[in-house]
């Protein structure tokens, strides 16, 4: 009997030892893959510091052009390897979060990458009235963003400040996704290890990071039962950038069907207070933002459906109309899904990004973040990989913009 107990105890100890070894190996694999992804991003920083970007499409000067290809392709490949190999282990989520934050921090050491939007934020914040004038001059951003920009431009280097703000917003997204994702390790890698996110947010400082961070924070608050905060966050995201409006409607419909996890009264109060404050500070001129935002969306854009269809002989105005019809149909279809309480927010985010007239890479953050929350949705994950590769091709293959 004692011999039998000894054998059982020995077998249990051996299994624990093997499990411990496997766990250490998995951590080493995660560290190795994450370090390779971060090293590739360091390479992007080195290339851009020696051959500074000046807009998009960016063409590195020789001999750095080949190095940029290697670095970006390497970052994408290691990100995909992470999704396939590392993401299966839920217990690695803390390590994956730490690696993600390091990857996202790397582009802060590069010059302003591939977009001058952060410089545009400074110019608009310093203008006498950011919403006055023709649409090509006026601000297309919500009043919450304009007020925040007024504070940021008082700093010594506001462009760097906008980039740091975008980085912090992405870090907030990474932490939130680790808490509410259906598959947290997958979700964190999908967004946090994604080179597209690193390049366009800590690298370029786009304010979409703040918009989507507020939106996801609202979803997190709703999950935790903080329904009033959820309502404030949803409306706040709209007053940063207007394009989140369809997603707000979808989230509210699903919330209503699931028992009002988002307080509609808080949404209404926040909306009325924001509108009132906007009139108080900017007068009726702030309403121009709706026209300006729509005007921007209708402008010909080489990289995206308007440019690609124009190469086929289809006028940009026709393409924009077609895109609006498709977007409307998508929202209507997913409204039905939201009413049934089974909204696939990641999938709708990806599809809306793909049918947008302008394929702005930074607009894809919503699709990536929502897919990271719905991380078990394989269709959404697959579309995020496609969107990331296509968006990064704008950097690597300017011929697509011809």
Dihedral sign of CA atoms 161, 204, 118, 51 in order: positive
| pLDDT at residue 58 in the model | 58
pTM to 2 decimal places = 0.90
| Cβ atoms of residues 175 and 97 within 8 Å | yes
* Of residues 220, 253, 218, the one with CA closest to residue 237: 218
User: 187 pLDDT exceeds 90?
Assistant: yes
| pLDDT at residue 8 in the model | 47
User: 16 pLDDT exceeds 80?
Assistant: no
> pLDDT-derived band of residue 245, with 50, 70 and 90 as boundaries?
very high
Residues with Cβ within 8 Å of 134's Cβ and at least 6 positions away in sequence, in order, are none
**Widest Cα–Cα separation across the chain:** 91
For 324-376, how does the pLDDT look when each residue is reduced to its tens digit (9 = 90+)?
A: 999 999 999 999 988 887 889 999 999 999 988 888 888 899 999 999 998 78
| Cβ atoms of residues 178 and 372 within 8 Å | no
């Amino acid at each position: 009997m004692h011999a039998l107990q000894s054998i059982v105890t020995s077998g249990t100890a051996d299994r624990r030892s093997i499990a411990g070894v496997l766990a250490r190996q998995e951590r080493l694999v995660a560290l190795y893959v994450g370090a390779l992804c971060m090293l590739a991003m360091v390479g992007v920083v080195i290339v851009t510091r020696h051959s500074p970007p000046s807009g998009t499409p960016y063409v590195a000067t020789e001999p750095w052009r080949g190095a940029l290809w290697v670095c970006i392709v390497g970052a994408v490949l290691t990100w995909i390897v992470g999704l396939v190999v590392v993401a299966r282990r839920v217990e690695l989520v803390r390590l994956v979060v730490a690696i993600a934050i390091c990857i996202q921090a790397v582009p802060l050491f590069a010059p302003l990458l591939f977009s001058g939007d952060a410089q545009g934020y400074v110019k608009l914040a310093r203008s006498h009235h950011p919403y006055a004038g023709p649409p090509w001059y006026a601000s297309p951003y919500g009043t919450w963003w304009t007020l925040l920009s007024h504070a940021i431009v008082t700093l010594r280097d506001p462009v760097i400040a906008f980039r740091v703000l975008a980085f912090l917003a992405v870090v907030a997204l990474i932490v939130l996704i680790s808490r509410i994702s259906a598959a947290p390790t997958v979700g964190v890698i999908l967004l946090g290890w994604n080179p597209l996110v690193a390049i366009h947010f800590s690298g370029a400082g786009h304010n979409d990071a703040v918009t989507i961070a507020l939106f996801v924070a609202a979803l997190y608050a709703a999950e935790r039962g903080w329904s009033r905060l959820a309502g404030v966050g949803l409306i706040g995201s709209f007053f940063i950038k207007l394009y989140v409006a369809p997603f707000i409607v979808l989230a509210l419909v699903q919330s209503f069907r699931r028992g009002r996890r988002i307080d509609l009264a808080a949404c209404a109060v926040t909306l009325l207070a924001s509108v009132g404050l906007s009139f108080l500070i900017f007068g009726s001129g702030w309403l121009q933002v709706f026209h300006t935002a729509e005007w921007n969306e209708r402008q010909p854009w080489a990289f995206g459906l308007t440019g690609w269809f124009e190469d086929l002989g289809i006028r940009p105005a026709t393409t924009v109309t077609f895109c609006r019809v498709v977007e409307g149909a998508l929202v209507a279809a997913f409204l039905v899904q939201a009413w049934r309480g089974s909204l696939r927010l990641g999938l709708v985010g990806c599809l809306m990004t793909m049918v947008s007239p302008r394929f702005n890479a930074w607009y894809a953050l919503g699709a990536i973040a929502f897919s990271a929350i719905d991380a078990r949705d394989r269709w959404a994950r697959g579309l995020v990989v496609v969107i990331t590769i296509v968006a990064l091709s704008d950097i690597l293959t300017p011929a697509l913009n011809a």
